[in-house]
Amino acid sequence: MHHNRQNPRVLRPKLDVPLSSPALPAPIMFRSAYVPPDGIYPLHQHAWGEFVYSFSGVMEVKVADHHYLAPPQYGLWLPPDMAHVGLNRNAAHHASVYLCAALCAALPSEPCALTVSPLARALLEHLRAQPDEVSDTPEGACLLQVLADQLTAAPRAGSYLPTSEDPALGAVLSMLENTPGDNRSVPELAALAHTTERTLMRRCQRDLGMSLAQWRQRLRVVKAMALLENGQTVETIALDLGYGSASAFISMFKRLAGTTPDEFRKASAG
């Protein structure tokens, strides 16, 4: 997903140790930060792994030509020495968990989304409420080790909203991202891309690992999260995203996000 970002606010990764350092001062470190709308962490890399989790808002990480995106029930894993750009379209509050290279061996060797367990989420919330020096205390180190164990065991989700470089499928995904309320059927979308329904479905499974219907629902969840945080009503969002009723939208959102739109809004405001 490539976005036109106007006047981005350039941010710097917050870490006591220089990015050029060959190692972290502790095996596991935790940092959290609030970032304003249209914030961007310029291209950087480091010798340790990083897990990025967003308490509110949706953080995106760009690695080479791929965008990795995860709403709050997922986090993004970046292995060591991986050049990346961090960005967010709306205001976000996020955390980074840094792991020394030795601890990264048990985690994926490629960037991916990791499913965040209830325990991992509770640990992240607890650590966010602590002083920045929590990583330096024995109690903090114990909590961080439990969190690292949770991340190591977490199911891997690839990218929550994967993309495709296929011309036909890429064109369909781009069109849907720009008009997420479009309810045209797969045959109609295939015709727009000058291909067949069968070909489009096959490319969805090959490049996305899911059906176009599943991808479209995930897209609508991500779009809805930003609209909820901006204060739009559930009814308005439902109509904007192509649903005939608020109840149909609420049912879809709860099934995919694990919470109702109103619950998500309240949690994001906290």
Does residue 120 fall inside a structural domain? yes
* CATH code of the domain in which 206 resides: 1.10.10.60
Give the SS3 label for residue 173.
Answer: helix
Same domain, 154 and 20: yes
The DSSP result for 222-257, as a single string, is HHHHHHHHTT--HHHHHHHTT-SSHHHHHHHHHHHH
Return the pLDDT at 270.
59
What is the phi/psi pair of residue 232, to 5°?
Answer: -70, 150
The DSSP result for 114-170, as a single string, is EEPPHHHHHHHHHHHTS-GGGGGSHHHHHHHHHHHHHHHHSPEEE-SS-----HHHH
Does residue 4 fall inside a structural domain? no
Do you know the residue count of the chain?
270
Same domain, 151 and 211: no
Does residue 2 fall inside a structural domain? no
Same domain, 142 and 227: no
Q: Residue 186: enclosing H or E segment and its boundaries?
A: helix 186-192
Return the pLDDT at 1.
34
What is the phi/psi pair of residue 234, to 5°?
Answer: -60, -40
Residue 173: how many other CB atoms lie within 10 Å = 25
- Token duo for residue 10: 């350039």
Write the pLDDT tens digit of every residue in 187-215: 999 999 999 999 999 999 998 889 999 99
Cα 242–Cα 56–Cα 180 angle in degrees, nearest 5:
15
Return the pLDDT at 160.
80
* CATH code of the domain in which 137 resides: 2.60.120.10
- Cα(174)–Cα(215) distance, rounded to whole angstroms? 12
Does residue 187 fall inside a structural domain? yes
Does residue 115 fall inside a structural domain? yes
Ordered per-residue pLDDT tens for the chain, 270 residues: 333 344 567 766 666 677 778 888 889 999 998 888 888 888 888 999 999 998 887 778 888 767 787 777 789 999 999 998 888 777 788 899 999 999 999 999 998 889 899 999 999 999 999 877 777 788 889 999 999 999 999 998 777 888 888 999 999 999 999 999 999 999 999 999 999 999 999 999 998 889 999 999 999 998 898 888 888 999 999 999 999 999 999 999 988 887 899 988 887 665
Amino acid at 19: L
Chosen domain end from 158, 191, 223: 158
Same domain, 43 and 153: yes
Residue 260: how many other CB atoms lie within 10 Å = 14
Return the pLDDT at 103.
95
- Token duo for residue 246: 């608020």
Closest CA to 212 of 239, 180, 173: 173
Chosen domain end from 117, 138, 158: 158
Return the pLDDT at 38.
80
Does residue 3 fall inside a structural domain? no
Same domain, 25 and 145: yes
Domain count, the chain: 2
Same domain, 55 and 189: no
Same domain, 147 and 174: no
Same domain, 230 and 250: yes
Chosen domain end from 102, 128, 158: 158
Does residue 96 fall inside a structural domain? yes
- Cα(79)–Cα(47) distance, rounded to whole angstroms? 9
Same domain, 18 and 111: yes
Same domain, 177 and 129: no
Enumerate residues 6+ apart whose C-beta is below 8 A from 3: 87, 89
Same domain, 152 and 212: no
Give strand pairing partners of 9: 39
Which domain range does residue 219 map to? 167-269
Does residue 80 fall inside a structural domain? yes
Same domain, 25 and 151: yes
Return the pLDDT at 180.
95
